[in-house]
Amino acid sequence: MLSGIACSAHRHRGRGPGRPFFVALCLLAGAWHATNLGSSVALAQPTLQPELQQPQEEPDAQTPEAQSPKQLELQQREAAQHEQQPAVAPGPDLPLVPQQHHELPQAPPVAEPPAGALPPVAAKAAPAHVVTLKGLSRTRAETVLELLPRAPPAVYTELELEEFQRRLWNLGIFDLVQVRHTDRGIEVELREKWTLIPVPDFSTASTWKDTYVALSVSEYNFLGRAMLLTASVWHETRGWNGAVSLNEHAYHSRGGAWGMALEFASAELVFEESPDAWARRGGAALISWQAPLPHDSHTAYQIALGYAYEHNIDSQTRYKPHNGHQVHAELTVNWESLRASDVAPHGIQAKLTLAPGGFFNLREPMPRIGAEGSLLAAWAITGETALMAQLVVTAASRGNANYSNLLGSVDGVRGLRDAIYHTWLQGVLNVELRQAFRFAERWAVQAVLFADAAAFDRVNARGHRSGSQAAASGGIGLRLIPTFLAEVVLRVDAGRALWPEPGFFMQWGLSQYF
C-alpha cells in the first residue's frame, strides 16, 4: 500500500527507526550475542553489564591498530577456544550468570509489492506534498485534482487513493490511468481519449420505421472539465426528436454537479389490440443537481425539476388524450462501486429514481407518478473477460397512454417488435458474457453470448390495463472496440426470439446494448 511506503520514509526523517533499520539492528545484536558471554541477560538487566565486561587491558599492551595480522589471528583463535571452555566459578563479589543463548525477537520480513501494484499497508496514511500529472493535453489539471478528497499537500489513505483512481477511470475520457506513490508525493499518469465524437448511431428494429437512428455530436471533455455537451437528432418511436444537454461529471468530491437539457419530442402511438393511434408532439426542459460525492461514500443523491408540454394530433379514431402540461420532480439515489473499462468492467451499481408530478389541463388534470430501479453487476473474470447483468424495473401511474413505458428491441429484449408494447409496469433482465481480444494497441474485438428476458403489464389506448406478458431471446454478438474513442462500439447481434413471437433476428448498433 502507498501509506506503508510513505510513513516508513516519514519515520526515517525523525520519528524513530524505520523497519529496515530495526531489522539490521537485530541482526547486529545477534552477531554480538554469539561472541559475548551472557549478552542477552545483560540486555535484559543493564545493572549486570559492567560485571560482564572483559578485563581491562594492561597499559603496555598493544592496541588493535598496532598489532600485526598474525597477532590478531592468534588472539581470535584463543578467544574461540576460551568460549568453548566451561564457565568459571564466580568469586564472592560476582554472581553466577549461566551461559544461555536467548534469541532476540526478529522483525518479520517486509514483502516487496509487485510491480505496478499498490504496496501493502504498513501505516494508515500517506503524505503527498506534490501531485505530478502526466499525459494531460486537453484536460485541465483541476479536473483531476478535484477528484482527490483534499487539495494537496495533504495526507491520503490507501482507500482514498484507490477511489481516486477508480473515479479517474469512470470519467470515461482516459484509456490509461496509473496512480503511483513516490518519495515526493503522488504521480498520476494518464492517456486521453479523443472525446469530440460525431456519432451516427443506429440500432435496427423489427421494422424499418421502428428503427432507431441518431446523429449526435458529443464532447465528453467540454472545456477540459470532463463535462458532457451533446447536440443530437434521432428517430425513435416512429418520430423525430432533438435535444441539447450539458452535464457535469458525477464524481465531484467537494462540489456538486449540475445538469440541464432542452428537448423536442415526437412519437406515433399505435396499439396492437385496437385501431386507436395518434401522433404526439411536445417540448421538455430539465435541470438537475447532484450533491458532492465524498470519498468515504459510494452513495450519490440527485434532485431534478422538469417540465413538458404535450400536444396530440392526427388521431386515427375519435379518441385521443387531452393536451396539457406536465410538471414533475425527481429524486435519484445512486449507489456505485463500479470500475469502468472498455472491455471488462467490474463492480456494482444500484439506482432508484422516484418522479412525483402531475399533468394539468382544463378538462382532466391527473397525477403522474413514476419510479425506476436498476441494478448493474459486472464481474471481471480476467482482464479481458466479463460477465455482465442488468435488471431494470419501471413503473408509471395509469390513466393516459402518453405516460407509459415502451418495451421493444432497441432498449429491452432483442428481437421483440417495437412500438406496440406500451406498459405501466415492466421488469427487464439482460445478461452478457463478453470475451475481448486485443489485436492492436488501443483496438479490441469482443465476442458476446447474450440472453434477454422481460415480464410486463400492458396498457391500452385509454391507459387501462390490458394483460400481462413475458418475452425472451438469446444469441451471439460481436463488437469492434476502438478504446481511443469515447463511448464508441460497433455492435452486431444475431439470435432467436423465443416468445411471444418466435423468430430469428439480426441487430446492429454503434454502442454496447447496456
pLDDT-based confidence at 76, cuts 50/70/90?
A: low
Residue with more model confidence, 59 or 202: 202
Contact 423, 413 (CB under 8 A): no
Residue with more model confidence, 104 or 305: 305
pLDDT at 101 over 50: no
Whole-number pLDDT of residue 73: 55
Whole-number pLDDT of residue 418: 83
Highest-confidence range of 144-153, 379-388, 411-420, by mean pLDDT? 379-388
Whole-number pLDDT of residue 369: 97
Whole-number pLDDT of residue 129: 82
pLDDT at 325 over 70: yes
Residue with more model confidence, 83 or 15: 83
pLDDT in tens, 207-228: 778 888 889 999 999 999 999 9
Q: Using CA atoms, how far apart are residues 381 and 223, in angstroms rounded to an integer?
A: 36
Whole-number pLDDT of residue 283: 96
Average pLDDT over the chain reads: 79
pLDDT at 85 over 80: no
Retrieve residue 251's grid coordinates.
464524481
Whole-number pLDDT of residue 11: 32
pLDDT in tens, 391-429: 999 999 999 999 999 999 988 999 998 888 999 999 999
3-state secondary structure of 52: helix
pLDDT-based confidence at 77, cuts 50/70/90?
A: low
How many residues in total does the chain contain? 514
Q: Using CA atoms, how far apart are residues 455 and 467, in angstroms rounded to an integer?
A: 11
Torsions phi, psi of 100, nearest 5? -105, 135
Torsions phi, psi of 221, nearest 5? -135, 55
Retrieve residue 147's grid coordinates.
477528484
Which residue bears the cell 595480522?
69
Average pLDDT over residues 371-386: 97
pLDDT in tens, 446-501: 999 999 999 999 999 999 999 999 999 999 999 999 999 888 899 999 999 999 98
Lowest mean pLDDT among 10-19, 280-289, 341-350, 494-503: 10-19
Whole-number pLDDT of residue 78: 54
Whole-number pLDDT of residue 103: 33
| Of residues 414, 238, 385, 372, the one with CA closest to residue 314 | 238
Average pLDDT over residues 80-88: 44
Whole-number pLDDT of residue 21: 35
Q: What percent of the chain has pLDDT over 70?
A: 75
Whole-number pLDDT of residue 9: 33
Which residue bears the cell 418466435?
502
List domains and CATH numbers for the chain: 1-45+115-192 (3.10.20.310), 196-509 (2.40.160.50)
Q: Using CA atoms, how far apart are residues 164 and 118, in angstroms rounded to an integer?
A: 13
